[in-house]
Structure 1
């Protein structure tokens, strides 16, 4: 059964909360979590077939692994006379990696092959996680200090920010897609991982 290691739901939730903070860049750190799903079998082929039966289900079918994120924002819009400035934008980013895990103890030779396969899948998904961190930083970079001199209700600044978010998110989705296309094409890193795992 063919299984493709694919994508990530782009889950972006933007929350606007007022708080008195200075107009300076804010340090932040992503929270990263791992969820495992069990796969059955004592041979590489049986384990791989179980991945095809039990892996995360996306629109394209079952996948080997899946990376999602939830992004929320604490933003401080400050009226300054007739002007408005976005003084701070602090993200809360939670990245979740869903990965396979054997449900039973494997023989030493199969366990070694599984570990190499698993480590390669983790490396692939971790780069997707880095893309999500980059997206968050890009949004923060265009947010802090955004200003309109004639915006007493802070509506123009909010609209200006939303206008900048679409090209950033579009580039983010394309980056994921391009990466997966290369990794999973014949000869790509994920394709090679699968072949190395299944071949005697």
Structure 2
């Protein structure tokens, strides 16, 4: 499950003279959270994840979760009737939530758990990579945006928001397609759970 929050902040500047060179910077912040599970068998661990995992909708829980917030700060300038994005700063704040084995396990179960957890982590980190690609593609799209506009650069800001939302929709579709492949019957997630349960 992914929870995405956007914030777009626009600073309006009325710079005169030569146009400023547009700059773009994206920052990545990563946090990792865990929830504890215990159990003497693979099936017991799966049941513990079903009870304690991050919420996925109203009634179900996920094994793990990738959530993120996206913030954009866009500074505009206007010269000779043309508005330009002078500075584009984006922040992607990623939070991963994983299960943590909170009690000692038998050696065979611990080996299966480590393989299972490596697969879960790889899945969630793929969601993180897709989000990072979204940020990079969005920054490339808007960093050189310019257009004839009014004193308030209304159309320029509107076009920046449109592009940001368009890239979000495109990459959210990629996130959903990845989840659909991974969670389908007989897919990677099912294999991970089966390998954890079966000795």
Return closer, same or farther for 1:160/1:174 CA change in 2, 3 Å cut-off. Answer: same
Find the counterpart in structure 2 of residue 97 from structure 1.
Answer: 96
Find the counterpart in structure 2 of residue 14 from structure 1.
Answer: 8
Tell me the SS of whatever aligns to 2:127.
helix
Q: 1:132-184 CA deviation, whole Å, 9 max, x = no partner? A: 11111121111112111233211110011122233222112211111111111
Do the aligned residues in 1 keep the contact of 2:26 with 2:136 (CA within 8 Å)? no
Q: Matches of 1:120 and 1:66 in 2, distance apart?
A: 13
Find the counterpart in structure 2 of residue 135 from structure 1.
Answer: 134
Find the counterpart in structure 1 of residue 125 from structure 2.
Answer: 126
Q: TM-score, normalised by structure 1?
A: 0.89
1:76 paired with 2:52, answer no
Tell me the SS of whatever aligns to 2:144.
coil
**TM-align CA RMSD:** 1.9
List runs of 5+ in structure 1 lacking aligned partners. 1-6
List runs of 5+ in structure 2 lacking aligned partners. none
1:163 paired with 2:157, answer no
Decide which moves more: 20-29 or 57-66: 20-29
Do the aligned residues in 2 keep the contact of 1:31 with 1:94 (CA within 8 Å)? yes
Q: Matches of 1:117 and 1:111 in 2, distance apart?
A: 10
Q: How many residue pairs get matched? A: 194
Q: 1:12-53 CA deviation, whole Å, 9 max, x = no partner? A: 222224689953443434122110011121211111100000
